[in-house]
Amino acid sequence: MVDFLNYNEARELAKAKLPRGIFEFIDRGTGDEFSLRHNRRQFEAARILPRVLTGGSPRSQKVEIFGETYSAPLLAAPTAFAGLVWFKGEIELARAAAAYGIPFCAATEAITGVGEIATAVGTPIWFQLYLWDREELSQNLIEKAWTNGARTLVVTVDTPVLPKREYNVRNGFDIPFRFSPRNVFDVATHPRWAVGVLGRYLAAGGLPNFANYPPEYRANILSRGSARSMSLAPDLDWDCVRRIRTNWKGNLVIKGILRADDALLALQIGADGIIVSNHGGRNLDGAVAPIEVLPNIADAVGDRLTVLADSGVQRGSDIFKLLANGAKAVLLGRSLLYGTAIAGSAGALRMMRNLGEELDVAMAMSGCRSLKEIDRSLLVKA
């Protein structure tokens, strides 16, 4: 049964269902988690200044992104390990997104490969790319995504090195997993996950691995030896992205922008869109929150780029505030993983509907009949 009414209830249910290591990988930030808390404080500091008596019915959340019309200004963000919160979790999440009428973006670090997701869903998906240390490996993955119907490529550029997340080390949640009395006990006390997720992978033919990784980097979650996890491009620069633009025939989106000058560089190299994001507070501790820099970035690029945003969204009113500050749509990460952990595609779909309903309430209360009527005049800073 899908029994939650909001983000916080879903978070608590997911926390109870998942082993600690997996839950904290999703839930927590990096360093002292200043950025994680700052994201929330900045949402709370932005206050809605509603209009009244505007005849705000009927309302529509429809939005056009890259020539496609979607039911709501929401996207299922690329997230690592959706396949560890539920068996084939990426497919469950993608099916929920298709049912709700919003885009799903598959991740480089997915447990399920982009081809399998695309085949299972039957609708076009987006694909997120981390650049490899060898450029030909990145190009091979891009070509694989294109062959499987992806026409929007999201290049994540805010992770030149791996972030320091001490809780992953303490939980043994590195790749490969490290066995300890603590995490063995953790899994043993979550038998539904052990049987329903890990057990099903074993029954299907083996332990889960990063299905999109090149063979020489791929390993299952327990493997030790020569195989290694993602090796980031140490010399990632704008020329790397420019070469991708030259070779990629579809829409190109740059994820991880927090500065107006970087947004203008993305425009200069031919990107079609950007995602204003601090990686959910998971990468650089002390980084600014997207909502506080979004207006300046949106003003700088105008309508020359499709501006999207994410990080820290928990309520429909958060979505409303990002839209008012210049985002065309908002990516959802943790919230959809919690929903998926609770009940697969049904849980993810419930979370989408909850957030969509909350956004509708914010629009109605503020006198907005369409997304175009949501603007900065509806916000004040506390």
Is residue 220 predicted with pLDDT exceeding 70?
Answer: no
Q: What is the DSSP letter of 199?
A: I
To 10 degrees, what angle do helices 316-324 and 334-366 make?
A: 70
Spatial separation of the C-alpha atoms in residues 325 and 293, rounded to whole Å: 9
For position 56, what pLDDT does the model report?
65
Reported as a single tens digit per residue, the pLDDT across 330-353 is: 999 999 999 999 999 999 999 999
- List pLDDT tens digits, range 25-36: 999 999 999 999
Residue 231 pLDDT class (50, 70, 90 cuts): low
pLDDT (average), residues 230-240: 75
Read off the pLDDT band of 227 (50, 70, 90). Answer: very low
Which residues does 263 contact at the CB level (< 8 Å), separation at least 6?
Answer: 257, 274, 276, 297, 300, 301, 305, 307
CA–CA dist 240, 138 (Å, integer)? 10
Average pLDDT value for the chain: 91
Bridge partners, 309 (sequence order): 276, 330
- Averaged pLDDT, 366-379: 96
pLDDT at residue 2 tops 80: no
251: CB partners within 8 A, 6+ apart: 66, 151, 152, 153, 272, 273
Question: Residues 154-172: what's their mean pLDDT?
Answer: 84
C-alpha gyration radius of the chain: 20
**pLDDT score of 17 more than 90:** yes
* Size of the chain in residues: 382
Q: How confident is the model at residue 266 (pLDDT cuts 50, 70, 90)?
A: very high
> What is the spatial distance between Cα 146 and Cα 142, in angstroms, rounded to a whole number?
6
Identify the pLDDT of residue 379: 98
Q: What are phi and psi of 274, to 5 degrees?
A: -135, 155
Task: Please check the confidence at residue 179 and state whether its pLDDT lies above 70.
Answer: no
Give the pLDDT score at 178.
64
Where in the sequence numbering do the catalytic residues fall? Answer: 279
Q: How far apart are CA 241 and CA 157, in angstroms?
A: 9
**What whole-number distance in Å separates Cα of residue 227 and Cα of residue 217?**
5
At residue 225, the pLDDT reads: 40
What is the C-alpha to C-alpha distance for residues 362 and 72, in angstroms, rounded to an integer? 14
> Is residue 73 predicted with pLDDT exceeding 90?
yes
- Check: CB of residue 29 under 8 Å from CB of residue 281: yes
